[in-house]
A and B are shown apart, each in its own frame.
Chain A
Amino acid sequence: MLEFIIQNNIVCHAVEAMLFASVACAVLSVIITQVQISSIGFTMAHAAFAGAAVGMFLSINPTVCSIVAGVSVAFLIGPLSDKARLSPDTSLGLLFGICMAVAIFFIAYMQTLGQGFSAMGLLFGDVISLYREEVYLLAAICIVAIAFIVVLYKEITAIIFDRRIAESVGIRVKPVYYAMLFVIALTVALCLPIIGGLLLYVWLVAPAAIALQFCNRLSAMFVVAPTVAAVISISGALVGLEYSLPVAPLTAVLFSVVFIAAVLLSPRRRVTFRKI
């Protein structure tokens, strides 16, 4: 898609993948941080990671396995909390631990079998060996994530504002909420091979956290977060490939630096401090 700008195929695919993955994650990061379900996003990322590890071990398509695992976890949290009479937070903590244990077990076991290299890509991401089809899939999920927000914008913003108020004004909160979790799980699963299970969480939180420092309106956050994420991710990919540095970890560090700078420069915070 960007071949007319970037001639090198590997670099081109890497930039495209980072662009689509970052935009998809960033628009969803606004939902994740504002509905305050970051722990669900965190657990889903690790469930997808565990699913992919199991898939690799069993020679089943890791992407399909990670989608199944991510969605299952999203839909398990409620019933598990009710049945075991645990708070959702405790249920998420348990599920996170179990997912992490499963993922590490299979990665370690594959290393003993000499298949460790491909499994390591799940941990820290891999943008080098991408097929064109994988980039198309990322472009598709990017469109799905944006379309989801555009189509259900009213309902999503009301749920972000307050779930109980959203329910009281006549919005069917549960179906929209579960649709949100499904789109997040799908995005997480498809972005996992690019960004890696351990770093994906940065993409799901940092863009919205940066945008919030400058935006008074949610609509602005939905524009600023993906723009910032795209710029940081493309920069990370170009710099990483140019100097042979690991792309996803480098980009995650860039996100952290930009977040710190945003907090220091935020006009919204300055107003708050002055008020105090």
Chain B
Amino acid sequence: MTPSDPIIRLENVYTAYEGADRPTLTDISLSIGKGEFVVIGGPNGAGKTTLLETINGMLPITHGKATVCGQDVRGDGVQVRCRVGYLLQNFAFDPLTPFTVEEVVLMGRYGTIGLFRKPGKQDYDAVRIALQRLGIEDLAIRPIGQLSGGQQQKVLMAQNLARNPEVLLLDEPFSNLDMFAREEINRLLARLVRSGITVLIVSHAFDDLPDGPVRVVVMQEGTIVVSRECSPKEVEQVVRSAGKVASHA
């Protein structure tokens, strides 16, 4: 992969869930460069989460080609996931969940550590740095189930940052966060993008997006209807107008 190559490239990709009669994603072509900030919008059920899980190889590609960080997603899904962070949506942990914050964040590195190996000093250092980046280092020894929803969300974010991802996929990252935490996460995302990490974010909240150019991808019924660059303030307008055009078509 040369520096000018896109970090994510999807060519005519179709994805179907196991046992489904028809594909969930249809003919998706997308090319995203290193350090881009991409907002994925669209109505519920449009295929936004499916797109993220196709990119990190968690869902089977039935047709087409997908490469992420220069690796074929179909053949090297596990390797891709070691280099791509993915924050899943809507997590809430039971108060009796027997894991501390530090243990949960360390899990983010398990794929890169490899089978039969124990975490080493560099893994614990990465955990400490990730906790500091999110400002939650004082929660390290607390059980995750006893934290608030927003704190749990930050822990999962730290888990993804701990493996120093080249691409970060975030599914509704603001869903449990208050206004202050949202601003904090947005500042962090801006720093990550500046440092060259590609960020793809599925969200329904388009205010307070980090400054700088944003690529908006709007999805409708399993396909991409709009993919264009704009300013953070234009994102909501682009998503709304794309939705209207699609519903009238």
Question: Does B14 interact with chain A (Cβ within 8 Å)?
Answer: no
A171 to B163, CA, bound (A): 13
Question: Lowest 3 A-B CB distances belong to which pairs?
Answer: A170-B111, A170-B82, A170-B81
Residue of A nearest to B116 (CB): A151
A170 in contact with B112 given A215-B98, A216-B143, A217-B103 (CB within 8 Å):
yes
A10 to B18, CA, bound (A): 54
Question: Does A158 interact with chain B (Cβ within 8 Å)?
Answer: yes
Name the interface residues of A161-187: CB closer than 8 Å to any CB of B: 161-162, 164-172
Question: Does A194 interact with chain B (Cβ within 8 Å)?
Answer: no
Residues of chain B within 8 A of A235, CB atoms compared: none
Residues of chain A within 8 A of B118, CB atoms compared: 154
25 A-B pairs in the complex with CB atoms less than 8 angstroms apart: A34-B98, A85-B19, A154-B107, A154-B110, A154-B118, A154-B119, A157-B103, A161-B104, A161-B107, A167-B81, A168-B56, A168-B58, A169-B82, A169-B107, A170-B79, A170-B110, A170-B111, A171-B110, A212-B98, A216-B100, A217-B98, A217-B99, A217-B103, A221-B98, A272-B95
Using C-beta atoms within 8 Å of the partner chain, give the interface range for chain B: 35 or more
CB-based contact A169/B100 at 8 Å: no
Question: Does B222 interact with chain A (Cβ within 8 Å)?
Answer: no
Question: Does A3 interact with chain B (Cβ within 8 Å)?
Answer: no
A166 to B108, CA, bound (A): 8
Residue of B nearest to A85 (CB): B19
Question: Does B193 interact with chain A (Cβ within 8 Å)?
Answer: no
Question: Does B245 interact with chain A (Cβ within 8 Å)?
Answer: no
Residues of chain A within 8 A of B109, CB atoms compared: 169
A167 to B163, CA, bound (A): 14
B179 CB, nearest partner CB in chain A, Å? 24
Within 8 Å by CB of B110, from A151, A169, A212, A215, lies A169
Residue of B nearest to A220 (CB): B98
Name the interface residues of B90-110: CB closer than 8 Å to any CB of A: 91, 95-100, 103-104, 107-110
A272 to B118, CA, bound (A): 33
Residues of chain A within 8 A of B119, CB atoms compared: 154
The residues of B with any CB-CB pair to A shorter than 8 Å are 18-19, 56, 58, 78-79, 81-82, 86, 88, 91, 95-100, 103-104, 107-113, 115-116, 118-119, 143, 146, 156, 159, 163
Using C-beta atoms within 8 Å of the partner chain, give the interface range for chain A: 20 to 34
Question: Does A149 interact with chain B (Cβ within 8 Å)?
Answer: no
Residues of chain B within 8 A of A168, CB atoms compared: 56, 58, 81, 86, 88
A268 to B96, CA, bound (A): 8
A114 to B160, CA, bound (A): 64
The contact string, 1 if C-beta is below 8 Å from chain B, for chain A 205-229, is 0000000100111101100000000
Residues of chain B within 8 A of A170, CB atoms compared: 78-79, 81-82, 110-112, 163
Residue of B nearest to A176 (CB): B115
A217 to B100, CA, bound (A): 7
A71 to B38, CA, bound (A): 46
A210 to B58, CA, bound (A): 35
B41 CB, nearest partner CB in chain A, Å? 22
The contact string, 1 if C-beta is below 8 Å from chain B, for chain A 130-153, is 000000000000000000000110
A147 CB, nearest partner CB in chain B, Å? 12
A155 in contact with B115 given A171-B110, A218-B98 (CB within 8 Å):
yes
Question: Does A89 interact with chain B (Cβ within 8 Å)?
Answer: no
B93 CB, nearest partner CB in chain A, Å? 9
A157 to B146, CA, bound (A): 19
Residues of chain A within 8 A of B108, CB atoms compared: 169
A169 in contact with B98 given A82-B18, A85-B19 (CB within 8 Å):
no
Residues of chain A within 8 A of B97, CB atoms compared: 161
B13 CB, nearest partner CB in chain A, Å? 19
A72 to B82, CA, bound (A): 33
Residue of B nearest to A167 (CB): B58
